[in-house]
Homo-oligomer: A and B are copies of this chain.
Amino acid sequence: MSGAPRNPADGGAAGRSIWTRPQRGARGPAPTHSRDEIAAAAVALADADGLGAVSMRAVAGALGMAAPSLYRHLSSRDDLLDLMVDRCVGELRPYPTDDGTWQDRFLLLARRQLALHRRHPWLPDAIARPTVPGPNTLAHFDACLRLLQPVRAGVAAKFEAIAMVTGVVSLFARSAAAAGTVTFDHVDLAAYPHLAAAFAEPPSAPPDQDLFERTLRSLLTGLLTTDHP
């Protein structure tokens, strides 16, 4: 009979993502936990035991609340992941400004991204998903575009380059974490001569220490340098 009490997390017709929704209503009691507390708890869980450990019940439990209460703040688990990603992207601050060429500056930012992925190995899995960018993500894109201002290239090319660099950073992070990597233990290599020969060789020195820098430099110049005027 009473007017439909809508969940504020649903938002009106206007508030479709978390970022366009108020953190709390103006009427009822104060929420016992803020959006930041929720994001922090979820990130801590993911850092400790991977993204699979971030269940609504687990996050709620870590904050001493019941699972359905989370839906007062989030409209879905995807919202939670968006919150986590944006919170971590905020750790990229402050953005490089001063020294060197634009490539040096961009590489510095890439190194910060690499460190971020090392700190939060679940990040690629959380980003591999249609994501609504939060304020920190927007600020990061803005900083990237600012760094690329001296580059004479179209906007589309710049976005492509940014996405590619981000992707390569996650590739390096993955290979370092040895996750998602095939292991050749206990495999019969008799039918694969080149593989067998490769493993018969004495273990060669690991690749160049500055492989990261060389890869990204060649990628940036390849992507953002056009050879036809």
Q: Mark A114-141, 1 if CB is under 8 A from B, else 0.
A: 0000000000110111111101011101
Interface size on A, residues (CB 8 A): 71
Q: How many copies does the complex hold?
A: 2
Chain B residues near A133 (CB-CB < 8 A): 182-184, 187
Chain B residues near A198 (CB-CB < 8 A): 145, 155, 158-159
Chain B residues near A132 (CB-CB < 8 A): 182-183
Task: Judge whether A128 and B124 touch: CB under 8 Å.
Answer: yes
CB distance from A212 to the nearest CB of B (A): 11
Chain B residues near A219 (CB-CB < 8 A): 215, 218-219, 222
* Complex: A207 Cα to B149 Cα, angstroms: 17
A2 at the interface (CB under 8 A from B): no
A3 at the interface (CB under 8 A from B): no
CB distance from A55 to the nearest CB of B (A): 17
Supposing A154-B207, A205-B154, A207-B154 touch, asked if A175 and B163 sit within 8 A by C-beta, the answer is: yes
Supposing A138-B187, A180-B128, A180-B129 touch, asked if A157 and B207 sit within 8 A by C-beta, the answer is: yes
Task: Judge whether A195 and B226 touch: CB under 8 Å.
Answer: no
Chain B residues near A208 (CB-CB < 8 A): 157, 226
A171 at the interface (CB under 8 A from B): yes
Task: Judge whether B145 and A195 touch: CB under 8 Å.
Answer: yes
Chain B residues near A186 (CB-CB < 8 A): 16-17, 20
Chain B residues near A157 (CB-CB < 8 A): 204, 207-208
